Amino acid sequence: MSEAINSVPRFGLVFFASWPTVTSIAALNGAEPSFMLAAAFLWIALMGFVIVRYRAGRLAELVGKA
């Protein structure tokens, strides 16, 4: 189990840990559903970009060592 957790980038763990907090705050503020949906897409896009950049950097390090 620990190997599976260590193989996931920390950014992914941050995303899944923070997502309920983000949606709860938005719901408590009485946001419209369309705004919450837009926030969800933006949040997923941002985290996806961060994860892709992280993996691209790791891949560049591995290729540079070869």
Model confidence pLDDT, tens digit, residues 35-53: 777 777 777 777 777 777 7
Nearby residues of 11 by Cβ (< 8 Å), 6 or more positions away = 47, 50, 51, 54
The pTM (predicted TM-score) of the whole model is 0.44
The string of pLDDT tens digits covering residues 2-20 is 555 555 566 666 666 676 7
Distance, CA of 43 to CA of 48 (rounded, Å): 8
Contact indicator for 58, 11 with CB cutoff of 8 Å = no
Query: Comparing C-alpha atoms, which of 23, 29, 24, 25 is closest to residue 43?
Result: 23
Q: Give the SS3 label for residue 55.
A: helix
Q: What is the pLDDT, as a whole number, of residue 36?
A: 72
